[in-house]
Structure formats: C-alpha cells, structure tokens
Amino acid sequence: EVQLRESGGGSVQPGGSLILSCAASGFAFSRSTMTWHRQVPGKERELVAGITDSGDMTRYADSVKGRFTISRNNVKNTVYLQMNNLKPEDTAVYYCGAPNLPVPSGGYLDFWGQGTLVTVSS
C-alpha cells in the first residue's frame, strides 16, 4: 500500500521559514519522481516543486523560485520542502505527491498524502 505522510506544517510570520517532510512507503521511492503541490479553498491544486528520482533535476513554480527548495533522501524514503521568506500568499494545504506510479491493474495512478496546513500571517 502506497503511503505518503507529510509533516512540518504550522503557522509562521511573513519572512519566516518552515521545512515540510514527506515519508513514503509501499513503492519504489528511489525510482520515482516526487512532487509538492498546494491548494487553497476554491482553487485548483497547483504544483509547487518537483524532483526526479535521483534528485539531479528539480522544477519550481515561478511564485516560489528562489525561496523554496525541494530535496530528497533515498535512504530514508523522504522528500523535503524547505520554505524560506514565506509570504501570506503561501498559505495553503501542502500535499506530497507521487505521480504516475504503476499499479497491479497495469495502469498508472497519482498518489497523494493527506496534506499539511501552512499558515503565513502576522
């Protein structure tokens, strides 16, 4: 069973930092691209950052470039999102994602964690 468990969310003042963690199990983590997405009520879930299986390539939304860093530890099966210089508009539920995982039926599915709330407010 695929499991993604986020942790590290909370409340922080503008300009502050948080680090999110996502512990993964039940699939070949070291061979899987991983992502962080976020969602606010009434809006679609948006990609924040992605990282390839080996960690050699990363991708960021324009709104977080230079402030957020995605990384992974393939020994600990964990992906991280370091968030610096947080802004009120970063307030959202953040989800860890494992896209396009093969499933026994022969197809592919996207898997998500339960989400962790990040609130940026003074």
Structure tokens at 11: 């409340």
Residue 106 reports pLDDT greater than 90: no
End-to-end CA distance of the chain: 40
Q: What's the rounded mean pLDDT across residues 70-88?
A: 98
Instruction: Give 18-69 pLDDT, tens digit per residue.
Output: 999 999 999 999 999 999 999 998 999 999 999 999 999 999 999 999 999 9
Q: What is the pLDDT of residue 46?
A: 97
CA distances from 70 to 10, 13, 74, 103, 114 (A): 18, 21, 13, 26, 19
The β-bridge relationship of strands 92-102 and 58-60 is unpaired
